[in-house]
Each structure stands twice: as C-alpha cells, then as structure tokens.
C-alpha cells in the first residue's frame, strides 16, 4: 500500500488522539489539526491524500471548511470524509451535499472507519493502488519490498525503503525534518530530528552506488526534496 497521508481535523483531543493511533496502526501517515485554520495551514505546505473532517469545529464548521475547499481547484478532487454525530447531522449531510465523499457517524468502530477510508482512497486514486511505483528508471515494489534502479536491485534497509516510498509518492515537494519524521516514522514514535539527516545520508550513500545520489536534494534552510529533475 502506498504511503497515504490523512489529515485529521477534530477539535476533541481524545477523539483526535484515538484517530491518530487507529489510522497509524492501519499504516496511514497521519497529520492532525484541531480547527480549520490549522488544517488550512497544513494544506498550504502539503496536499494530503484524504481529509477526515469533523462536522462540529470551533469558528469554522467542518461543513463550511469543506465548502471552501471545494471552491479551490486544487482541492476539488481531494477526498473528504466527514465525521458526524448521530441523527440530525447525518440527515443534513445527505441533504446539503457539501461535496464530501463519505461520512462516518460517531461512535464508529475503528475497523469500519479504516475500511471506509480505504474504499474512498481506492475510488479516488486507482493508479496509486498499484503495488509498484515507477518514476523514471526507479521502481519501488511495495508488496515485495524491493527497490530497483535501471532494473538493478538497490539494497536498502526498511527505514530507507519507507523513506524512498514516501519520496516517490510525493516527488518534487520539499519536506522539512519534522514533516519527514511525522510522515515516515509516524507521530507516535519519538525520534530526534537529526535521525532524519542520518537516514538521508545513508540513503544517499546507497543511491551513490547507482550514481543517483542527486535524487535526494537538500533545500537549504528547509529540508529535503526527492526529484528526478535537477
Ligand atoms: Ca467536534
């Protein structure tokens, strides 16, 4: 499965933390915000694969936020799953049709939530569901855990593999150390930021064997970018 990024927008701490744990356990990369402003702030940097959006949020409601996003071309096809309370909100969401792809009624079972999100992701991004990610002459097989460059197998550790998987599913974008930590290692793991540099260095050494160390570029003062273009 590719490394999908899910943005969780939920103001209740307990529910938000529960969602993070459930989704990370399911293999998703999770980013969380407690209100629409913070969510927008995150979106300015990174485009997630799906937003799990609570209906009742302070200041700007989830419905309003979804409507605003749908007005912008970049977010028109971004899958949004709304979290609602049972009853009234459920009816409204069907009636309003505020452009969400699906909704989940609280309380929900973690298993059902994960299944629904996977279904929405599958519908929205069929091509991303191929176990093989190909960029130029690089091929990453997520099922066989194999990376090849020009059909030569690259000997990478599990962490460098995850790093490459993340980079190859998010090419040409700059990520800082914190973002890479969150997205490759997960928010529930405590690791120092310099660990990212260590793994980037290792990855470059491995890529150097194949004369491709330039694939992972340092963006001074910010972080790293994976790109096959110079
Ligand atoms: Ca809420």
- Mean pLDDT per 10-residue section of the chain, whose length is 230 residues: 85 96 93 95 84 93 89 81 77 65 88 93 64 88 88 91 89 90 74 90 95 94 89
Distance 125 CA to ligand 1 centre (A): 28
Q: How far is the CA of 57 from the centre of ligand 1 (A)?
A: 5
Confidence at residue 42, expressed as pLDDT on a 0 to 100 scale: 87
Assign a CATH topology to domain 5-126: Rossmann fold (3.40.50)
Q: Rounded to the nearest whole angstrom, what is the distance from the C-alpha of residue 61 to the centroid of ligand 1?
A: 9
Structure tokens at 88: 């009234």
What's the CA gap between 124 and 50, in Å, rounded?
9
Give SS3 for 122.
helix
Q: Which two tokens stand for residue 43?
A: 């979106």
Q: How far is the CA of 222 from the centre of ligand 1 (A)?
A: 33
Three-state DSSP class for residue 128:
helix
What is the distance in A from the centroid of ligand 1 to the CA of 114? 19
Sheet of 174-176: strand order equals 174-176, 223-226, 216-219
Q: How far is the CA of 185 from the centre of ligand 1 (A)?
A: 27
- Taking the centre of ligand 1 as the mean of its atom positions, its distance from the CA of residue 103, in whole angstroms, is 14
Closest CA to 78 of 113, 43, 105, 111: 43
Q: Which residues contact 34 (CB under 8 A, 6 or more apart)?
A: 9, 10, 11, 13, 16
CA of 11 to the centre of ligand 1 (A): 5
* CATH number at 130-226: 1.10.10.10
Neighbours of 60 (CB within 10 A): 15
pLDDT of residue 158: 85
- 181 CA distance to ligand 1 middle (Å): 27
Distance between start and end Cα atoms, the chain: 28
Domain boundaries, the chain: 5-126, 130-226
- Spacing, Cα 207 to ligand 1 middle (Å): 45
For residue 8, the CA-to-ligand 1 centroid distance in Å is 12
- What's the gap in Å between 53 CA and the centre of ligand 1? 9
Taking the centre of ligand 1 as the mean of its atom positions, its distance from the CA of residue 105, in whole angstroms, is 12
Contacts of 73 (CB under 8 A, 6+ apart): none
The Å distance, Cα 170 to ligand 1 centre, comes to 30
pLDDT at 126: 45
Where helices occur in 72-136 by DSSP H, the ranges are 88-96, 110-124
- Residue 154 in tokens: 């690259």
* CA–CA gap between residue 86 and residue 106 (Å, rounded): 6
**Residue 91: predicted pLDDT:** 63
Q: What is the per-residue pLDDT across 41-99, written as a single tens digit (0 to 9) for each? A: 888 777 788 999 999 899 999 988 998 988 887 787 789 999 987 666 666 665 456 67
Which pTM does this prediction carry? 0.57
Partnered with residue 83 across adjacent β-strands are 54, 104
- Separation between Cα atoms, residue 124 and residue 20, nearest integer Å: 22
CB-based contact 184:162 (threshold 8 Å): yes
């Amino acid at each position: 499965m590719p490394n999908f990024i899910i943005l969780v927008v939920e103001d209740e701490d307990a529910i938000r933390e529960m969602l993070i744990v459930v989704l990370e356990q399911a293999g998703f990369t999770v980013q969380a915000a407690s209100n629409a402003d913070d969510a927008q702030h995150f979106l300015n940097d990174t485009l997630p694969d799906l937003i799990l959006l609570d209906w009742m949020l302070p200041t700007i409601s989830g419905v309003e936020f979804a409507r605003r996003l749908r007005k912008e071309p970049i977010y028109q096809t971004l899958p949004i799953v709304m979290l609602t309370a049972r009853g009234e909100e459920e009816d409204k969401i069907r009636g309003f049709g505020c452009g969400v792809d699906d909704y989940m009624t609280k309380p929900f079972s973690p298993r059902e939530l994960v299944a629904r999100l996977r279904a929405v992701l599958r519908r929205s991004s069929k091509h991303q569901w191929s176990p093989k990610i190909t960029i130029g002459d690089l091929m990453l097989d997520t099922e066989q855990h194999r990376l090849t460059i020009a059909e030569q197998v690259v000997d990478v550790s599990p962490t460098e593999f995850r790093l490459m998987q993340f980079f190859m599913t998010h090419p040409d974008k700059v990520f800082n150390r914190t973002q890479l930590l969150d997205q490759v290692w997960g928010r529930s793991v405590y690791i120092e930021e310099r660990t990212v540099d260590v793994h980037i260095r290792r990855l470059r050494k491995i890529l150097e064997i194949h004369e491709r160390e330039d694939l992972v570029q340092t963006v001074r003062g910010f972080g790293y970018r994976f790109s096959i273009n110079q």
